[in-house]
Amino acid sequence: MSISDREINYCKFLDTLGFSNSDDFSLFEAAMRHTSYTNENNLPAECSYERLEFLGDAVLKLVVSKYLYNKFSDSKEGILSKLRGEIVADKTLAQFAQKIGLNEYILMSKNERKSGGEKKQSILACAFEAFLGAIYLTCKIDGYKRVEDFIENNFKDEIEEIEKNIENINPKQQLQEYTQELNHTLPEYVLLSRTGSEHKSIFEIGVYFNGELLAKGQGTSKKNAQQDAASNALKIIKSEEKWKQ
């Protein structure tokens, strides 16, 4: 694809997302320039996406923080932070970028592309944040609202899926916070059994609190089995309405 063809297709891409009438196309173009591209083409460092990424990162965190604050009115700061961390993680933002096809327009050096740069989570995530920064700046009257709408309209299902799986976000830490709040006591993890060969073992762990077995978990390592047990304990606690985030 030649540069001119790419620009035409990129404009069409922006049009499908509702940004064809934005005030400054050059910012959307800058949002796609990886540092390897600016270096290869002897462009000033400020022509890469890094400054827009810095801005987009801040706007994204504010948008997500506001969304979580309003939706989970009874949740504590720790839970909200974990959810936000999962939503703004590189792996999540890389998926967002690929979902809308943003990865097809990132400019990078020949060597970076040859090494699979268009598939690297870090590059995709940074480009996505830079794209948000461009939205914020080019929509001068309502930039924040446009970013907010863009996130909700395109990634609502993915965000809700993360919310549903909150107990899988470091369940050991969540369970520990829960038990410490009750009586400053930590849950206890006990090895119940180990089956299989030495190199392919399955561990079964029980998690206890105040001498009571809360749940069991399994895994190919003690650590994984403990996480599974904690996750199962959280599900039971929540189902019995003992849990308040």
> Token pair for residue 122?
């870090």
Catalytic residue among 57, 112, 167, 228: 57
| 57 in catalytic set | yes
Q: What's the token pair of residue 141?
A: 């009257």
Catalytic residue among 129, 148, 167, 228: 129
Count the neighbouring beta carbons within 10 Å of the beta carbon of residue 54. 13
DSSP class per residue in 169-215: SSHHHHHHHHHHHHHS---EEEEEEEEE-SSSEEEEEEEEETTEEEE
Is the dihedral angle over the CA atoms 83, 147, 12, 52 positive or is it negative? negative
Element (H, E) at 228: helix 222-239
Only one residue has tokens 């809308």, namely 100
Query: Which residues belong to the active site?
Result: 57, 129
